Homo-oligomer: A and B are copies of this chain.
């Protein structure tokens, strides 16, 4: 059929609404039975989305506008499908109980706020944070959500510029009385954004919880609902006042882990428990709506949250490898005002790189050193290579993650270009990003 709104018109005329059971005959003759899902503006007028009994969503192109039959009306309650409850009734956040603590949801996009484009089969971001809140109606039982879509991007497209707006927006929300803030975010660069918010926000009055999902919500194995619910619980009920990432602890739905924003890394490309706290345990866990914070953490402050969003975007993050010649290294750092080298082992580079570290340092361009091992600490005092690097001016960052070091250096260079001050700030444990004394 030709589209042009005929399908939507046919649904309206038949009184068929999202949540109703329907039977659709597709253009290629298949008969598909299931629950009609809300129409998404990106899906195209001629496609209907049907949730099958298996829990999977499929997009169906009906043979004609007549080929959609109502099987039964929805009972307006939420229904259990697979592991996830799917809201089929329309929950209006305008109906939220204003006496409940306010939860800010500042959405940036990502899988957690995505749908499947049934034309191409690709996953695309949603545009409304309200849609997201409504997809988890249980939220309204313990908080009053205030939703805002700041971005609707896949997180690989986040730039340092986006960190700034996001930090300011989070401060605004907390300062306007929200008990906490959750940030639905793509998982790809969630660790980078978490570090950026960690350094730029201070005097936090509540938790700032980045939350994502590794499976889009149309899949029965989706982790999005449990992660969102757990993030909301943490934001409302805990005494925590740090920037954290909340994601599944395991591949099943046992619990979610609370990872410090400066210590967290995506360590698997697809598993639901992809995120890990590196060089420290997670701060705690959320299980069945209960919060267990087992490690030292910053508590809620009074007063106003500050957002200091001065970042210098001209920072390079370079992994050293055997073929990284001096010439390649020089090109890679050309134009940068700061460099993080994730070295091998304790933080080493080839000896031929060391004179360039000296040159950069002399030119006022700090060269910070992390380890590409991921786990463990730098130590440039053990081998002659390391000692030469120190002499050249390299700044070893202990057990700071490479990605966090890159964000931190960007933030520090937003505040000073004085080498002594840069070194001092980089070696200061600002947001629990490094252990001050770490024995080998």
Q: Do the beta carbons of A410 and B331 come within 8 Å of each other? A: no
Q: A346 vs B123: C-alpha distance in the bound complex, in angstroms?
A: 13
Chain B residues with CB below 8 A from A155, complex form: 344
Q: How many residues of A contact B (CB 8 A)?
A: 74
Question: Does A416 touch B at the CB level, under 8 Å?
Answer: no
Q: Do the beta carbons of B371 and A440 come within 8 Å of each other? A: no
Q: Do the beta carbons of A319 and B317 come within 8 Å of each other? A: yes
Q: In A365-419, which residues have CB < 8 Å from any B CB?
A: 371, 373-379, 381-385, 387, 403, 406, 410
Determine the residue in chain B with the shortest Cβ distance to A186.
B345
Q: Do the beta carbons of B321 and A403 come within 8 Å of each other? A: yes
Q: Do the beta carbons of A323 and B332 come within 8 Å of each other? A: no
Most B C-beta atoms less than 10 A away, residue of A123, A160, A317, A383: A383
Q: Do the beta carbons of A123 and B345 come within 8 Å of each other? A: no
Question: Does A223 touch B at the CB level, under 8 Å?
Answer: no
Q: Do the beta carbons of B270 and A376 come within 8 Å of each other? A: yes
Chain B residues with CB below 8 A from A317, complex form: 319, 321, 323-324
Question: Does A20 touch B at the CB level, under 8 Å?
Answer: no
Question: Does A2 touch B at the CB level, under 8 Å?
Answer: no
Question: Does A165 touch B at the CB level, under 8 Å?
Answer: no
Q: In A322-373, which residues have CB < 8 Å from any B CB?
A: 322-325, 327-328, 331-332, 334-336, 342-351, 371, 373
What is the distance, in angstroms, from A230's C-beta to the closest C-beta of chain B? 21
Question: Does A269 touch B at the CB level, under 8 Å?
Answer: yes
Copies of this protein in the assembly total: 2
Query: When the two chains form the complex, which single residue of B192, B268, B373 contacts A266, counting CB atoms closer than 8 Å?
Result: B373
Chain B residues with CB below 8 A from A163, complex form: 322
Q: Do the beta carbons of A267 and B373 come within 8 Å of each other? A: yes
Q: Do the beta carbons of A271 and B189 come within 8 Å of each other? A: no
Q: Do the beta carbons of B323 and A387 come within 8 Å of each other? A: no
Question: Does A124 touch B at the CB level, under 8 Å?
Answer: yes
Question: Does A99 touch B at the CB level, under 8 Å?
Answer: no
What is the distance, in angstroms, from A187's C-beta to the closest C-beta of chain B? 6
Closest CB pairs A-B (n = 8): A269-B376, A188-B344, A156-B348, A188-B345, A268-B375, A268-B376, A269-B371, A270-B440
Some 26 contacts from A to B, beta carbons below 8 A apart, are: A120-B384, A120-B387, A122-B384, A122-B387, A123-B384, A154-B384, A156-B349, A156-B385, A157-B350, A160-B322, A160-B323, A189-B322, A192-B322, A266-B345, A266-B373, A267-B375, A269-B376, A269-B377, A270-B440, A271-B376, A274-B373, A274-B376, A314-B323, A321-B406, A323-B406, A374-B374
